[in-house]
Amino acid sequence: MAALMLSPPIALGAEAPAFTSPPAVQGDAVVGATLTAVAAWTGDPAPIAKYVWRRCRATGTGCDPIPDATASQYVVTAADLGFRLGVRIALKNKAGSTDPTPSVTTDVVVATPTPGPAPVPEPPPDPDPAVDPPPAPVTQEERTSFTEPVAPIVSVSARATLLRPFPVVRIRGYFKRGGVRVTLLSVNAPRSAHITVRCSGPGCPLRTLSLASAPARLRPFERFLPAGTVLQVRVTRAGSIGKYARFLIRARSAPARTDLCLMPGRATPAACPTS
Q: Where are the chain's structural domains? A: 15-102, 145-262
- In terms of pTM, does the model score above 0.85? no
pLDDT tens digits for range 97-146:
999 999 999 989 998 765 545 555 555 555 555 555 555 554 544 456 76
Q: Answer for the pair 179, 252: CB distance below 8 angstroms, yes or no.
A: no
Cα gap 215→125, rounded to integer Å: 14
Alpha-carbon Rg for the chain, nearest whole angstrom, is: 25
Q: Residue 230 contacts by C-beta under 8 Å, 6 or more apart in sequence?
A: 199, 200, 201, 246, 247, 248, 249
Looking at domain 15-102, its CATH architecture is Sandwich (2.60)
Low-confidence spans in the chain with pLDDT less than 50: 1-7, 116, 138, 140-142, 153-160
pLDDT score at 123: 58
